[in-house]
Amino acid sequence: MLSNTLQQALNDQIRKEFHSSYIYLSMAAYFEAENLPGMAHWMRLQADEEREHAMKIYDFVLDRGGRVTLQAIEAPPTDFASPLAVFETAYAHEQKVTQSIHDLYALAVKEGDYPTQVMLQWFVDEQVEEEKSAGLVVAQLRRVGDSPAALLMLDQQLGQRAEA
């Protein structure tokens, strides 16, 4: 049985994952408007992944006999200064989510809840990947600088991202 504190924290993490999904979908819409379909595709897949993250925790709470209570999702940013600004925002967001997962893990340790620790282990690993992939695109966009040709090449490359 989940403790009330942990159940509340897991429900809050469900909200954060849906919020992440909403942010990335908003970024996808921005890229569509900017005629960068490859980056839009990348962000759309990212939004799908975040929804899957939310559902993983959703199912875990139910498996533990807990209660899922969905919360309001904050509006995402809708406008960005540049493709670089978008990915910098995504990278900073993932760092925040990593901290949130670590806090959740620490709480599960404090409560002696082993199943939650095991479940969160997947998220700890996933956050390493998430920071790595967003950080890589930030570095690539910095290298692109003001070159439209390089930006279009990177857009094509990101358009090849496959579903996980």
Instruction: Give the binding site for Fe ion (CB under 5 A).
Output: 17, 50, 53, 130
Distance of CA 77 to the CA centre of its chain: 14
Distance in angstroms (rounded) separating the CA atoms of residues 21 and 9:
18
State the amino acid at position 37 in one-letter form.
P
State the amino acid at position 129 in one-letter form.
E
What lies within 8 Å, CB to CB, of 56 at 6+ separation is: 119, 122
Identify which of residues 50 and 113 has a Cβ nearer to Fe ion in the complex: 50
Smallest distance from the beta carbon of 23 to Fe ion, in angstroms? 9
Smallest distance from the beta carbon of 156 to Fe ion, in angstroms? 23
Identify which of residues 92 and 118 has a Cβ nearer to Fe ion in the complex: 92
Size of the chain in residues: 164
Smallest distance from the beta carbon of 1 to Fe ion, in angstroms? 26
Smallest distance from the beta carbon of 98 to Fe ion, in angstroms? 9
Identify which of residues 14 and 151 has a Cβ nearer to Fe ion in the complex: 14
Smallest distance from the beta carbon of 136 to Fe ion, in angstroms? 14
Identify which of residues 77 and 143 has a Cβ nearer to Fe ion in the complex: 77
CB 86 within 8 A of CB 27: yes
- Exposure of 78 in the CB half-sphere (CA atoms within 13 A): 2
Identify which of residues 106 and 143 has a Cβ nearer to Fe ion in the complex: 106
**3-state DSSP helix/strand/coil percent for the chain, to nearest 5?**
75, 0, 25
